[in-house]
Structure 1
Amino acid sequence: MNFALILFLLLVATGVLWAFDRFHARKQRAAGAPAPWWVEYGASFFPVILIVFGLRSFIVEPFKIPSGSMIPTLLVGDFILVNKFTYGIRLPVINKKVIDINDPERGDVMVFRYPADPSMDYIKRVVGLPGDKVEYINKRLSINGEAVQTDEAGSYLHPDRLYYSPQYVEKLGTIEHNVLLEREAPAYVPQVLNYPNRDNCTYTSSGVSCTVPQGHYFVMGDNRDASSDSRVWGFVPDENIVGRAFFIWFNFNDMKRIGRFH
C-alpha cells in the first residue's frame, strides 16, 4: 500500500472541498445556514491532513521494523523515526530530489525503496559509497582494500528465541555499531538475484567483491547472516532513498528501547 499516495489524494480531495466552501459555497448560503455535511467534514479535515502530509513528506516519517535483519541495532517491533531531509528535499509520492543537502555516509542506518520492488521500504546500514570497492570475504569486511575495524564484543542473547550469537563492534567511518556473525553459517552468498550492474560484483565460495556504481550505495544488515541486502539484490540507487533512521519512539515489547538514537 502506497500510504504517501493515499495521503496525497486525501489532501487534494479535502483541499478542493475547502476551497469550494471558502470561495464559492459559503457566499451562496443564506446567513447562518449550515454547510452540507460533506462540505463541512471535508473542509475541516483539510488543515489536519495538510499538516500530517507536510511533516511526513519533508520532516520525519514513522516506520515499524518488520524483520530481524538489523539485530542487534534494531529489533522486530521497534517503531522508528526517519529524518526525511538529511539527504535532501524530495517531492512526495514521486520521491524526486529537488534540493541537495547531504549524501549518505558510511555507517548511516538508511531507509530506502527496495530496488527489486519499490513499493516496499527496506532498512539497512550504508557500507559502500559511490566508487568504493566493497569486499566481504570469509565474513570480514573491507573497503577500498582496508579492513574495517572489528572487535569481539561477547555474545548476544536473542530475547525471542533464547539463543546466543557471537557479537562484534564494527566501525564504519565515525560510527561504531554492533553486528552479529554466526560461526556455522556459510561465507558464500546464496540465491543471488540478477540485478542492475550485476557485473560490478564477483562472487566466490568465500564471499563477494563489488565496486559501487556512481549514484548508488552498498548496504548490509547488522545481523549479517540473516539479512537479504546488497550482497543478494544489488545496489541502492540514490532515487530510492527515503531518509536516515535516527530514533526509536516505541516498542510494545520493551519500553526501555524508547528514546534510543542510531
Structure 2
Amino acid sequence: MFRRKKYHSLFHEKKKIVTPELLREIFSWGFYTVFAVFIALLLVMAFGKRVRVIGDSMEPSLFNSQSVLVDRVIFKFFAPKKDDVIVFLPNGNEKSHYYIKRVVAVPGETVKITDGNLVVNGEVVSNDEHEYDKMKEAGIAENEIKLDNGEFFVLGDNRNSSEDSRSANIGVVKQSMIAGKAWFCYGKSEGKGGFVN
C-alpha cells in the first residue's frame, strides 16, 4: 500500500510539471521562432539575390569577382533614377550573365555621345561627382536617342572598358529587364566592400 501511494504521488508530481504557464511559454517561443523564420525569408526574397561582378567595367566603384547584393523590391515601387547602379539581363536574356551598370539617363530624356562626352537633353554632363574618362567609342549613341517610358540608358564607370547601352546588342535597358538595385558589395578585390554608390 505504501509503495502504491509513493508511485501515485510521483505520477501526480510529474503531471503537475506541465502547467498553463509552461504551455504559454512553449507557445510563445514557437510563435517567435516561426515569426523570425518568416521575416528572414522575406528579407532573403527582397535583398538576398547575389550576383558576381564580371570584368572591370565598373571600376573603381566595383571590382572583378566582387559579390553584389541586389535589392529586388525597390523598383517595384519606384523607378530607377540617375546615378543608381542597376543589375539587369540584357534584352531579358536569361541565358546571359547579369550586367551591373550606372543609370545616366531616364525616360523622356535624350542621350548622345559627342567628342567623348555624355550629352543628356543637349547638355554635356559634368564629371563633378565621379571622374570618368572621355569615351573613345560612342556606339549607337553617336546619334541622339530619345528614351521612351520604362527605358534607361546605362554606362559602366570604366567607360572605355564597358559593354553598355552604347552597344547595339544591349541598347537601352527596359524596366522589365532590371533585376534590381545594387546596394552592397563584398568579397576579395582591390576595393573594399561596402554600400554601392
In the TM superposition, 1:126-141 aligns within 5 A as 126-141=103-118
CA contact (8 A) 2:47 2:69 kept: no
Say which of 146, 150, 161 aligns to 1:226: 161
Larger Rg: 2
Structure 2 counterpart SS, 1:134 = strand
CA distance in 2, matches of 1:261, 1:228: 20
Q: Does 1:69 align with 2:57?
A: yes
Unaligned runs of 5+ in 1: 1-48, 89-100, 150-169, 190-200
How does the TM-score come out when normalised to structure 1?
A: 0.54
Q: Residue 145 of structure 1 aligns with which residue?
A: 122
Q: Residue 177 of structure 1 aligns with which residue?
A: 130
- How far off its partner does 1:260 sit? 4.1
- How far off its partner does 1:82 sit? 1.4
CA distance in 2, matches of 1:234, 1:69: 16
Name the CA shift for 1:181/1:76 in 2 (closer, same or farther; >3 Å): farther
Sequence identity, in percent? 30
Name the CA shift for 1:129/1:253 in 2 (closer, same or farther; >3 Å): closer
Q: Does 1:111 align with 2:48?
A: no
- How far off its partner does 1:50 sit? 7.9
CA distance in 2, matches of 1:238, 1:261: 20
CA distance in 2, matches of 1:188, 1:56: 39
CA contact (8 A) 1:215 1:237 kept: yes
CA contact (8 A) 1:72 1:178 kept: no
CA distance in 2, matches of 1:137, 1:54: 45
CA distance in 1, matches of 2:115, 2:41: 46
Q: By percentage of residues, which structure has more strand?
A: 1
CA contact (8 A) 2:92 2:176 kept: no
Task: Tell me the amino acid that sits aligned with residue 222 of structure 1.
Answer: D
CA distance in 2, matches of 1:141, 1:76: 25
CA offsets, 1:17-68, max 9 Å, x none? Answer: xxxxxxxxxxxxxxxxxxxxxxxxxxxxxxxx98776434323422211111
Name the CA shift for 1:180/1:81 in 2 (closer, same or farther; >3 Å): farther
RMSD: 2.7
CA contact (8 A) 2:71 2:183 kept: yes
Say which of 240, 249, 256 aligns to 2:177: 240
Say which of 177, 187, 194 aligns to 1:251: 187
Task: Tell me the amino acid that sits aligned with residue 226 of structure 1.
Answer: S
CA contact (8 A) 1:71 1:179 kept: no
- How far off its partner does 1:251 sit? 2.1
CA offsets, 1:113-172, max 9 Å, x none? Answer: 1116233311110011111101111111111112111xxxxxxxxxxxxxxxxxxxx25x
Unaligned runs of 5+ in 2: 1-36
Q: Which has the higher contact order (CA 8 A, sep 6+)?
A: 2
In the TM superposition, 1:77-226 aligns within 5 A as 77-88=65-76, 101-115=77-91, 117-119=93-95, 120-149=97-126, 170=127, 176-181=129-134, 186-189=136-139, 207-226=142-161
Structure 2 counterpart SS, 1:111 = strand
CA contact (8 A) 1:106 1:127 kept: yes
CA contact (8 A) 1:128 1:217 kept: yes
